[in-house]
Structure 1
Amino acid sequence: MTRSLSDQTVLVTGAGRGLGAAIARAFAREGARVAINYRASEGAAQALAQDIGPRAAAFQADVTDAAQVMDMVAAITERFGAPDVLIHNALAGFSFNGEARAHLDRLTWADMAHQGETAVGGLLACLRALRPHFMAQGYGRVISIGTNLVQNPVVPYHDYTAAKAALLGLTRTAAKELGPMGVTVNMVSGGLLRTTDASAATPDAVFDLVAAQTPLGRVTTPDDLADAVLFFASPWARAVTGQNLIVDGGLVFG
C-alpha cells in the first residue's frame, strides 16, 4: 500500500520550533494534515499552526509520558484521523556549545538518561500509542531524527550522541518488528544545522569550518533536512526500511 503525502495525517514531535517546525511546514506544503506536538513551546506551536492553516493544529504532550502520548493521539485522531506518519524529532533541552559541554570527568548517568528518555523513550511511547492504528490499516511511516555525530563524533557530545545512537538501534529493531504490518521505519540524520535554537550557541567560526570541510561548501539548513524526511513518508520510499540517511551536505560519507 502507498499513499500520497496529501492523503496522510502526520504527527511531528517537538515541532513548535526549530527543525520540527521546518518539518511541519514541509508536510503542510505538500498538503498533509499536520499535528504539531509541543511540550512547553505553546506560543510558538500555536502560532505555527495558525500560520499553516486549518490542516494543522498544535497538541501538547510530554513524549516521555506514555499516558500523555496516548491522550494526544486520541485528540489528533478526533481532529484529523489517526496519524499515518510519525516524525520523532523531540529533543531534551540541549545546546551545541563545545566549550560548555559535559566532559567525561563530570558527566553523570542522569545526564545520559535525560537525553535517552526523550530520544528513545519518546519514540517507544509514540510507537506503542500508534501501533494499533498501524496494525488495523496495514500501513504506517515512522521517521526518527538522528545525528551524523554517531558516525563522526567531531565534538564529543557524549550524552546527546549516545542517545541518538540508541535511537538508531530502536529504529532498526522497530523496522524489523513492524515491517510485516506494512510499516516502514527509517532515520534521517542531520549535521550541524544553521540555525536552530539548539545550534544558536555555536560560534560562527564553527559553522564556517563545517562549510569549508563539506563537499557542497555550505552548512545544511533545517529546510534541507525536512525535505529529506518527506522522502521516507512518500510513495517513492515504499521499499525502504531500517535505513539511516545522513543529510549533511556530504560531510560524512557512509
Structure 2
Amino acid sequence: MQINQQIVLVTGGARGLGAAITTTLVHAGAKVVVNYFKSHALAEQLQQQFPDQIFIYQTDVTDKIEVEQMFNAAKQHFGQAITSIINNALVDFKFNGEDRPKLTNLQWSEIQTQLDGAVHACLNTLQAGLPDMQAQHFGRIVNIGTNLVQNPVVPYHDYTAAKAALLAFTRTTAHELGEYGITVNMLSGGLLQTTDASHATPQVVFDLIASSTPLKKVVSPAEFADTVLFFLSPWSRVVTGQNLIVDGGLVKG
C-alpha cells in the first residue's frame, strides 16, 4: 500500500517530533490521525492547515478504552480504518542531564511512568488496530526509540529502560504479526535539535554531539521524520523487527 493510501496514527502528533512526523506524512499524501493529550491548540493549528488530511483526537494513550474510542472515531471520520501507527508519544520527560534522577534517588514510579508511556501505550494501539489490519492483511507499526539503549552516554535510567523494553516488544510483536502482512520496526534517534523534550539541553551538549558525528551535525526533527516514510513505504515491505538508528552516524548498530 502506498503512503498516500494510508491512514496513519501519530501518537503525540501535535508537538515536537510528532508534529514533524505529521507534517512529513501529510506532504507525502497520507491522511493522519493526530493524537494529543494536552496540546489542543497545536493540534487545531495542524488541522486548520490541512483540513482534508488531518483528524485530531485527544486521548491518553495509556488508557485502553480511550485508545479504542480513538480508533473507532478515526474510522468513522475517514471512512477507512487506521492502517499504520507511529508510537511516538513521550510522557512527561525532559532531556536535562543535570536534573535527571540519579540512581540514589530514582523512584520506581518514574520508571513505571516511562514504561506506561512507551510499552503500555504501544500495546494499547496495537490491540486497537490489529483486527482491521488483520482483515486487510496490511499494517505498518513504527515505534520511536533512542540510541541511548546502545550508547547510554547520559544515564537517563527511567527513559532508557522503557525504550529498551519497547525495542524488545518491537521484535516480539514483529515475529507474531508478520503472517498478517504487518511489519513492526523501530526508529531510534539521538538528541534532536530541537523538541520540547530537548529544549532544556544546553547548547554546548548539541555542539559536542555535532562534533562527534560523521556528518558533523545534530539531526533535526524534520530530518528524523523523513526516515519514517521508509518503514511505511513499499520499499520496506520485507523489513520487520529492525531498529534503525537515525543520529547522523554517532552510534553504530
Give TM-score, length-normalised by structure 1. 0.98
The answer to whether the 8 A contact 1:13-1:90 is kept is yes
Residue type of the partner of 2:107? T
Q: Does 1:34 align with 2:51?
A: no
Q: C-alpha offsets along residues 54-95 of structure 1, whole Å, 9 cap, x if unaligned? A: 111211110000000000000000011211110000111100
Q: Does 1:142 align with 2:141?
A: yes
Residue type of the partner of 1:15? G
Separation in structure 2 between the aligned mates of residue 16 and residue 9 of structure 1, nearest angstrom: 16
Match of 1:23 in 2: 21
Match of 1:159 in 2: 158
Cα deviation, residue 46, structure 1: 1.2
Within-5 A mapping of 1:182-221 = 182-221=181-220
SS at match of 2:52: coil
SS at match of 2:125: helix
Q: Which deviates more from structure 2 when the two are superposed, residues 46-55 or residues 208-217?
A: 46-55
Give TM-score, length-normalised by structure 2. 0.99
Q: C-alpha offsets along residues 76-125 of structure 1, whole Å, 9 cap, x if unaligned? A: 00011211110000111100000000000000111100000010000000
Q: Does 1:97 align with 2:96?
A: yes
SS at match of 2:140: strand
The answer to whether the 8 A contact 1:25-1:52 is kept is no
Match of 1:83 in 2: 82
Residue type of the partner of 2:108? W
Separation in structure 2 between the aligned mates of residue 199 and residue 105 of structure 1, nearest angstrom: 24
Match of 2:236 in 1: 237
Cα deviation, residue 50, structure 1: 1.4
Within-5 A mapping of 1:96-135 = 96-135=95-134
Percent identity among equivalent residues?
A: 55
Separation in structure 2 between the aligned mates of residue 206 and residue 47 of structure 1, nearest angstrom: 31
SS at match of 2:249: coil
For structure 1, list consecutive stretches of 5 or more residues without a partner in the other structure: none
Separation in structure 2 between the aligned mates of residue 49 and residue 170 of structure 1, nearest angstrom: 32
SS at match of 1:159: helix
SS at match of 2:245: strand
Cα deviation, residue 40, structure 1: 1.2
The answer to whether the 8 A contact 1:19-1:196 is kept is yes
Match of 1:49 in 2: 47
Superposed structure 1 runs of 4+ greater than 2 Å apart: none
Residue type of the partner of 2:31? R
Pairs aligned (count): 252
Residue type of the partner of 1:91? L
Separation in structure 2 between the aligned mates of residue 48 and residue 190 of structure 1, nearest angstrom: 24
The answer to whether the 8 A contact 1:141-1:233 is kept is yes
Q: C-alpha offsets along residues 168-200 of structure 1, whole Å, 9 cap, x if unaligned? A: 011111101110000000000000000000000
Cα deviation, residue 53, structure 1: 3.0
